[in-house]
Amino acid sequence: MNGRQLFATALSCLMIGNAFAQEQDDPYALTQTQINNMYRTQTKTRVSVHDPSVVYNNGTYHIYGSHRAHATSKDLQNWSGAREDIYGIVNASGTVVRTGYTNCFSAQQVKRVKALVNGAVTEVDFADGNGNPFDAKAWSCAVPADNGAAWTIDGNMWAPDIIYNEALGKWCFYLSLNGNKWNSVIVLMTADDIEGPYVYQGPVVYSGFLNATNAAINWHLTDMDLVLGRQATLPSRYNRGGDWPNYWLNSIDPCVFYDEDGELWMTYGSWFGGIFALRLDKETGLRDYTVTYPVANDGNGRPTSDPYFGKRIAGGYYVSGEGSYVQRIGNYYFLFITNGGLDAKGGYSMRVFRSSNPDGPYVDASGKSAVYSGWQKNYAADETALCGNLLIGAYNHLGFQTLGELAQGHNSAIVDDMGRAFVIYHTRFNNGTEGHQVRVHQLLTNEDGWIVALPFEFNGEEWTDEDVRTKEYDPASLVGEFTLIRHNYRLDCAALEVAEPLTVQLTAEGRVTGALTGTWKQTPGTSYITITAGGTTYKGVIATQHMDGTTMEAITFSALSTSGTVLWGYRVSPAHAIAYTVKNTTSPLTDNQRISENTDLAVTTYFGTACEWVSSNPDVFSNDGKYNPAETQTDIVMTQRFVNAPYHYDRTYNLRIQPAGDVNTGYLDGLVAYYDFDAKPTINYYDDSQRAYYGSQSSGTTPTLEENSARFGQVARVVGGTDKAKTCGYIRFPNPLQGQTDMEGFTVSMWVRRETNDKWGSLWAFTKSAPQLASDQPRFFLTENAHVGFTNLADTFALNYPSAVRTDIPTGKWSFVTITVSPTEMNFYVNGSQRSKTGFMSTAGRRYADFDYQKVIDVVAEAQYFTIGMGNRVATAAALYDDLLISNRPYTLDEVRNLYSAATRVTDFTAGATPVLSPEADAALQRTGIYDMTGRRLDRITAPGIYIVNGRKVRVTQ
């Protein structure tokens, strides 16, 4: 898809809508084919290349990194490992052959260079101060490791950079050979082919000649005499010993680039003395020995310019900063530097400066110089510098992201032949490891000429800076809910802190509301956006991107403040939001399904998509899934519509609504308690003096009532907790079985919807005293794991002891759970189906095998309370509850089945109960949508009884 086509009307989803108009009458009705095309998952092929430097050649992107890593890609999205044997030597016959990396740094190939001799450009031997060829490997290995072991280049070949040199007609490979005490050297290797073999040409710049006493790092072994003229003694400015890093740099991390005039430059350095720039000789690729630099200091003895090291363009004073990279984008040279330590907790952070000149001065958006005038902390939670524009900070949960990205850095950048700019970097993750991978984001330029990185990885989008400047994004598409990531300084990297999403709304009136408040506007005729929020103004660009891992499109923006912080935002395009929802939602209905009970039609939706249901015959099966059977079987059509304006997607289900069957109401005999949780006070319909108490322990959450689409009226929500931490919430009822010691058993039923898979969470219990249990007490209880437990403090038994998580009572779904206790056995039922049982023995004793049923009755009859959510002295189940029923007799299997059948429709459980008029009845009677207890629709109420009015139960007594 071409970016210029994509944004011809500025918003891709509207383009989709126009395409629909050619296919169907409703231009915003999506088809299944379109749904399938808009949402598919995609997987990228990843590689781990530390310090990736990118270069393009003949349709392929190459990245080279530290430790001899090398990978290639055709699309900047999928990478594959490439050959590591890229090193070569010239053999005795003059032929270049491949060789191991340990063998290639002794025999330099360049023999003569141009240099200034007495002010005149003269060709001289390219040799050290002793007249010998340069041995770069020996220099970098001159100082032993801190433990005394010999230093090697294995693991110390760092951060290469590759560029094609037109004058040489070769690929130039600049590489750091890192030494132990800053005795490092950047070398040049060249090859005819981008994959080598690369042959050592000679050194470009050294560091670490820090004293005049160690012969292994004597300045005469470097090119200092070639640069400065023969130096009989080490110049005092370099004679720093162990204090070297307080003044000077480490010669690593080269970046080589051409300026607009065709001159060749190299920036390099790390921490310590800062980042420096040197002119290179484009005819050789080595240092230009004809260019001189003055001795200049900043007044505190720190160099701003040096005859050997060149010009300081950033850092200094031991301030962190490494991996410099310069790329011209638009009208400026942009200098990328990574601050902090490279490990996951080190605070690695990419910062950006710009200049009109290749060697600076470089400044950030606030005008701060990249060159420091004193020490400051410039990364982590205690950063004081706040210097350099943030490019990408640590973040998580952007789109479908589940693993936080952090410690991003040591990047390179590139501009392709379409004018698109990209940043390529390595990132670590907040998973407790130091594993890293390569990432690529597109860069665009805001209205002030500053670059910003788009939020999602590059996925082939063709939107360019020219498009941003000349094409207006449809303002209507920017109105709605956006997810934001705010990249700020001072993240607590030691704690692996990442920026997390915020939610805001952009209104049609230009307001920002939600987690941030302020204003927004788009510059007319362009895709530039300005957002002012929290007192900070951000200027950025709008683009449509594909969300990571999918083909879904999102409207995104990336904006930079003058203080250097960054705001990312995205909003899933409406059509794609519907596509994602459709492909990731399980329907509660199937075609040709037979319906014989209430059905929960709630589905999970995403990104602002709504789900609506329409029944062709709501009198027998309502739009919200209520089962109101007719006398005969009724065929209906149920239409499910997913809506995200202006788009929608419909699918239909042919349903057979089963007729109203006769239900034996014998289960009503013995009912002593019925609580429907439709209001507070929550009253027992069989004894209006018995009312529920909603409470919690000292640190717990008190249960609440809430609407639920799958149930009539309201339901009770109990939040989980533990008794030990005093975080349990509960609902306490007077025990309707208290004092009934001559019972032949009892039955407890209720609707339950578990929210978690906890093994010990208490659903309900009969307890002797109040639930805040200071000590153990007799109790009989049921947990959400289908465990029935009993103790009278002398005898105990258990049914379904929770040694593992059971699924008898499923999570996320309403289940009708029944326990029956009789003199001979105890039964556990879910949705009218027996799941387990245990028998009772009649002989006395303390063990399960000879347990006496009467002990259970004694505990239940003595219990002062029946509680929901507490009672087993362990934990509270996180669950929803409805329609609690308690009977003073055990139900038979048939009665349990009848009870379940009745519970799945609008049924009167209050026959013979004390008359109670709902406080909502008077108002409810004024509305429409009235059903009797058989599910038949009525025009009006003409007699006392229980009715369903607009989906809520009311009892009318007069």
State the helix-helix crossing angle for 574-583 and 12-21, rounded to 10 degrees: 80
Q: Quick check: 913 pLDDT over 70? A: no
Mean pLDDT for 716-721 is: 93
Mean pLDDT for 392-409 is: 96
Q: Quick check: 83 pLDDT over 80? A: yes
Pairing of strands 814-821, 796-799: unpaired
pLDDT score of 663: 67
Q: Quick check: 17 pLDDT over 50? A: no
pLDDT score of 581: 97
pLDDT score of 917: 45
Q: Quick check: 795 pLDDT over 90? A: no
> Cα–Cα distance between 464 and 442 in angstroms, integer?
9
> Cα–Cα distance between 720 and 874 in angstroms, integer?
11
| Cα dist from 753 to 343, 422, 799, 902, whole Å | 45, 50, 21, 18
Cβ of 376: how many Cβ atoms within 10 Å? 15
> Cα–Cα distance between 17 and 435 in angstroms, integer?
43
What are the pLDDT digits (tens) for 21-52? 334 478 899 999 999 999 999 999 999 999 99
Question: What's CA 930's distance to the chain center, in Å?
Answer: 47
Residue of higher predicted confidence among 109 and 949? 109
Mean pLDDT for 908-931 is: 55
Mean pLDDT for 206-231 is: 96
Strands (E), 888-939: 930-931, 937-938
What are the pLDDT digits (tens) for 450-474? 999 999 999 999 999 999 999 999 8
pLDDT score of 777: 84
pLDDT score of 660: 73
Average pLDDT of the chain to the nearest whole number: 90
Q: Quick check: 770 pLDDT over 90? A: no
Q: Which segment of 249-253, 353-357, 951-955 scores lowest on mean pLDDT?
A: 951-955
pLDDT score of 134: 96
CA angle 758, 760, 766 (to 5 degrees): 135
Residue of higher predicted confidence among 11 and 760? 760
> Cα–Cα distance between 225 and 767 in angstroms, integer?
93
Q: What are phi and psi of 611, to 5 degrees?
A: -120, 125
pLDDT score of 1: 30
Q: Quick check: 169 pLDDT over 80? A: yes
Q: Which segment of 169-183, 779-793, 871-885, 920-934 scores lowest on mean pLDDT?
A: 920-934
Cβ of 849: how many Cβ atoms within 10 Å? 8
What are the pLDDT digits (tens) for 94-108? 999 999 999 999 899
Helical ranges in 131-223 per DSSP H: 136-140
919 — pLDDT class (breaks 50, 70, 90) = very low
Helical ranges in 152-271 per DSSP H: 224-228
pLDDT score of 949: 67
Percent of the chain with pLDDT over 90: 73
Peptide linkage before 646 cis (omega within 30 of 0): yes
130 — pLDDT class (breaks 50, 70, 90) = very high
Give this prediction's pTM.
Answer: 0.76
Helical ranges in 99-233 per DSSP H: 136-140, 224-228
What are the pLDDT digits (tens) for 475-534? 989 999 999 999 999 999 999 999 999 999 999 999 999 999 999 999 999 999 999 998
For residue 857, the surrounding DSSP H or E stretch is: helix 853-862
Question: DSSP characters for 282-349?
Answer: TTTSSB-BT-----EE-SSS-EEEETTTEEEEEB-TT---EEEEEEEETTEEEEEEEESBSSTTTB-E
Mean pLDDT for 677-682 is: 92
Q: Quick check: 578 pLDDT over 70? A: yes
Mean pLDDT for 634-662 is: 93
Residue of higher predicted confidence among 885 and 799? 885
Percent of the chain with pLDDT over 70: 91
Q: Which residues contact 256 (CB under 8 A, 6 or more apart)?
A: 161, 163, 172, 174, 264, 265, 266, 280
pLDDT score of 254: 98
Q: What are phi and psi of 374, to 5 degrees?
A: 180, 165
What are the pLDDT digits (tens) for 105-122? 989 999 999 999 989 999
pLDDT score of 909: 80
What are the pLDDT digits (tens) for 613-638? 999 999 899 998 888 888 889 999 99
Q: Quick check: 64 pLDDT over 50? A: yes
pLDDT score of 14: 36
